[in-house]
Structure 1
Amino acid sequence: MKRKGHLYEATYDFNNIVDAYNEVCRNTKNKRKVEFFREYKCVYVSRIYNILKNEEYEVGPYNIFTIYEPKERRIVSQNMQDKVINHLISRHILYPALMPCLLNFNVASRKDMGMKRGLELYTYYRNYFKQKYGTYYILKCDISKFFASINHDILKRKLERKIKDKKALDVVFKVIDSDSEGLSIR
């Protein structure tokens, strides 16, 4: 597969910023944060545009806290501006470069996939294995600290094989390296 180029410019396209902004506001659970962010929409959209156009993005500090539902989990949250920029990076750099390589079984965080598609795949293969073998087993597991265990250098080398746009790689690498305890995910 060819390496993808000319990806970075789409991150600071005004319409793309507004779309990402609206999606973040729609999907953020902390409504107080959203209201403040919406009140200054023009300011934030302009700021994000300038930061990305001028290649001045620096990842802000993370808000780290623990929840206990149903088990203990470490949550790493970002400010609204960083969430919008993460959406832009995901949608306009990572998706175009990586989607052609992903297996159809990988449904997490993919447009038109998600839980519904995962359930369809599960049902299909459950029926297939039941019919073919009669008895079958399913392993359900949760890998502890999965994202924290990803080696940043290996990940960056793999991304360099898929993305040739240096500006795009620079901004992706800033996000990867922004949390020394592992990758940030939205």
Structure 2
Amino acid sequence: MPRKHRHLFEKVITLENLFAAAENASRGRSGKVPVARGFAELEKTVVTLRDELLAGTWQPGRYYYFTITDPKEREVAAAPFRDRVVHHALVRVLEPIFEPRFIVDSFACRPGKGTHAALARAREFTRSHRYCLKCDIKKYFPNIDHALLLREVGRAVDDARVLELIGRILASHADGAAQEWRAGAGLFDVEQRPRGLPIGNLTSQFLANVHLHPLDLFVKQTLRVKGYVRYVDDFLLFGDDRAALKAHGQRVREFVRTLRLRVHPDKFRLSRTEQGVDFVGFVAFPDGRIRVRDSNVRRFTRRLRRQAWCVRTGRMDFDDLCQRACSWAAHAGHAQSRGLLQDIFSGIFHLPNKGSWA
């Protein structure tokens, strides 16, 4: 049994760790006023945070909520700069503890992983198996049970102050509202227990992986499924026996319910891999072909048309448009997409000669 780690709180609140966390929290956001102000007073901010954490008086600030609609409508919570520093400081200490525990085939928000690595792994299994069971957990982040999550963290962390800090962060967003967090709260009063992680926090991304780690172990060690890939709440099981894979799916559903979660009934599909395996925005085929998911192509085309209109009317800089288009083109480049990109860009920018792309 893996050992538990102690004396972690002291590592979280070192000035070295907090300064590194502040730098990480500021990365890519220095143009935004709240971050720029925090960075200008970085030393004061970090020292004050350390004193508050040490005294146990630190309290999370108010989230700024906004809605995104691409690829689907979701509420995103942006934490204040000070809180993001704490989130990064915590993850910097916990990540090295949990990384060796995680299975190889979990790919979201992990060093050296990501969507394209997940796609490559799914492609391998698609080429070597006849069937694939695709699963998705319904409304995963809003339904993460705080007590169960803290219990799972506690399997590796034996530090009351770190667990209390995590509990305080969790309580700052429970069902979208602040909740009182009580140290030592048990697993009783199930329906009354707070749940939900805000989409947008670094801690949410990290803890979401921790929470589904038992599912990974169940599939790999109990069901002994060799072909398994997970990206956040979207996961695939591969096999050559359709009946066995269907039975595994039922057991997965039952296990997920023990985490107070549900497999989405409309996104639970068993199919032959020759029909294509839809995963992380791509569709992989046994012959090695990969294409971009049709819905992603339509969404990108609509967005690019809107942005091109903004450039023509002076609402967007052309260089900004080119940067966004090139970013998506690089993403789509993991599939056989050269002809697709020619069609999209030629149609929107009215490029006269496709041969000039060669």
- The interval holding the TM-score normalised by the smaller chain is 0.7 to 0.9
Instruction: Tell me the secondary structure at the aligned position of residue 75 of structure 2.
Output: strand
Shift of 1:8: 0.9
Structure 1 residue ranges without an equivalent (≥5): none
Matches of 2:140 and 2:31 in 1, distance apart?
25
Shift of 1:144: 4.1
Shift of 1:21: 0.9
State the structure with bigger RCO (CA 8 A, min sep 6), 1 or 2: 1
Matches of 2:85 and 2:49 in 1, distance apart?
8
Tell whether the 8 Å contact from 2:30 to 2:36 is kept in structure 1 after alignment. no
Partner in structure 1 of residue 82 of structure 2:
81
Q: How does 1:167-178 map to 2 (within 5 A)?
A: 167-178=161-172
Tell whether the 8 Å contact from 1:51 to 1:57 is kept in structure 2 after alignment. yes
Q: Deviations over 1:146-182 (max 9, x none)?
A: 1111111122222222211111111111112221111
Matches of 1:128 and 1:37 in 2, distance apart?
52
Structure 2 residue ranges without an equivalent (≥5): 176-195, 203-358
Q: Pick closer, same or farther for the CA change 1:140–1:155 going to 2, 3 Å.
A: closer
Q: 109-118 or 99-108: which moved more?
A: 109-118
Shift of 1:140: 7.0
Tell whether the 8 Å contact from 1:67 to 1:75 is kept in structure 2 after alignment. yes
Partner in structure 1 of residue 15 of structure 2:
14
Shift of 1:80: 0.7
Identity %: 25
Between Structure 1 and Structure 2, whose CA radius of gyration is higher?
Answer: 2
Partner in structure 2 of residue 34 of structure 1:
35
Partner in structure 2 of residue 157 of structure 1:
151
Instruction: Tell me the secondary structure at the aligned position of residue 173 of structure 1.
Output: helix
Partner in structure 2 of residue 139 of structure 1:
134
Instruction: Tell me the secondary structure at the aligned position of residue 139 of structure 1.
Output: strand
Tell whether the 8 Å contact from 1:64 to 1:76 is kept in structure 2 after alignment. yes
Tell whether the 8 Å contact from 1:3 to 1:163 is kept in structure 2 after alignment. yes
Q: Pick closer, same or farther for the CA change 1:153–1:36 going to 2, 3 Å.
A: same
Structure 1's consecutive aligned runs of 4 or more residues displaced over 6 angstroms after TM superposition are none
Shift of 1:137: 4.2
Shift of 1:138: 6.5
Matches of 1:12 and 1:104 in 2, distance apart?
30
Shift of 1:24: 1.2
Shift of 1:31: 2.5
Q: Deviations over 1:118-157 (max 9, x none)?
A: 233223323333xxx3xx447375x442111111112222
Instruction: Report the TM-score when normalising by structure 2.
Output: 0.46
1 or 2, which has the higher strand percentage?
Answer: 2
Matches of 1:10 and 1:157 in 2, distance apart?
21
Q: How does 1:100-139 map to 2 (within 5 A)?
A: 100-129=100-129, 133=130, 136-137=131-132, 139=134
Q: Deviations over 1:57-112 (max 9, x none)?
A: 211111122122232111111001101101111121x3244223211111211122
Tell whether the 8 Å contact from 1:3 to 1:97 is kept in structure 2 after alignment. no
Tell whether the 8 Å contact from 1:25 to 1:34 is kept in structure 2 after alignment. yes
Q: Deviations over 1:21-76 (max 9, x none)?
A: 11111144863332222222122122222222323221111112212223211111
Partner in structure 2 of residue 47 of structure 1:
48
Q: Pick closer, same or farther for the CA change 1:29–1:65 going to 2, 3 Å.
A: farther
Partner in structure 1 of residue 98 of structure 2:
98
CA RMSD of aligned residues (A): 2.2
Paired AA for residue 68 in structure 1 = T
Instruction: Report the TM-score when normalising by structure 1.
Output: 0.84
